[in-house]
Amino acid sequence: MTKWSTNAWSTITPIYDKILLHPFITELMEGTLPKEKFSFYIQQDALYLATFGRVLSGIASKLTDANHVQDFLEFSSGTIMVERELHKTFLTTFDVASSIEKSPACTLYTNYLEAQLATKPLEVAIAAVLPCFWIYKEVGDYILANQTKAENPYQEWINTYGGEAFAESVRKAIEITNVIASQATEQQQAEMTKAFTMASKMEWLFWDSAYQLESWKI
Ligand SMILES: Cc1ncc(CN)c(N)n1
């Protein structure tokens, strides 16, 4: 039987293809992305990750398999720690402001994840966080395989998401989500795919908001 993740990825392939074509990603790959846009992204991402970490540990608290609990706790602490280290590098390098408010896209995405955790069944919440792992891994791999410039100011970002340590977490996250999906009804699996798709759209929005230096209209 086809795994839930295989069908879910096919559903979001048009979104993923658009992410690869987004100027934030193409310019990041070329190393030509204006620093101002990357700084905006990194600052918003620090705010995003604070919520993401809390949502991951919330999911851990709802899982029943002890190994899955441990994996999600490790995602929450380990993965986030690695990403925070990465952020520190860029926050220092680019000397960005330390107090900022969430952009509309960041607000939308973090509120969405928190709402899935608070109001939806576990299988939906877990599907909602999967794009945060999977899309970043695919984008990291894609950039590593296609970049042509020897020097890139964003190389550390690229290496983090295209690297083996991150890939291992992503494999585990996909596997756990498939186990949860295998215990779900068809209707529940459809809800999972819906959340996976929505969060994938928000990944696109998040990069787009950084590229546009999005601000509140009011
Ligand atoms: C918005 C966003 N999505 C996903 C990731 C990778 N965990 C991230 N750092 N930021």
Helices (H), 63-103: 66-74, 80-94
In a domain? residue 197? yes
Rounded average pLDDT over 181-186:
97
CATH of the domain at 43: 1.20.910.10
**132 CB near ligand 1 (under 6 Å):** yes
In a domain? residue 13? yes
Boundaries of domain holding 73: 4-95+102-212
Q: Is the ipTM of this complex over 0.90?
A: yes
Split at pLDDT 50, 70, 90, the class of 183 is: very high
Rounded average pLDDT over 119-131:
98
In a domain? residue 218? no
| Closest atom of ligand 1 relative to the 83 alpha carbon | 9
Report the domain count for the chain. Answer: 1
Say which residue, 92 or 40, is predicted with more confidence: 40
pTM attached to this predicted model: 0.94
Q: Which one, of 151, 155, 32, 153, lies nearest residue 93 by Cα?
A: 153
| C-alpha–C-alpha distance, residues 1 and 105, integer Å | 37
**161 CB near ligand 1 (under 6 Å):** no
In a domain? residue 56? yes
Site to probe by mutation for ligand 1, drawn from 103, 132, 154 as the one with most ligand atoms within 8 Å of Cβ, is 132
Split at pLDDT 50, 70, 90, the class of 15 is: very high
In a domain? residue 217? no
Q: What is the pLDDT of residues 54-94, one digit of tens each?
A: 999 999 999 999 999 999 999 998 767 777 777 777 776 66
Counting Cα atoms < 13 Å in the Cβ hemisphere of 17 gives 5
- Average pLDDT in the chain: 93
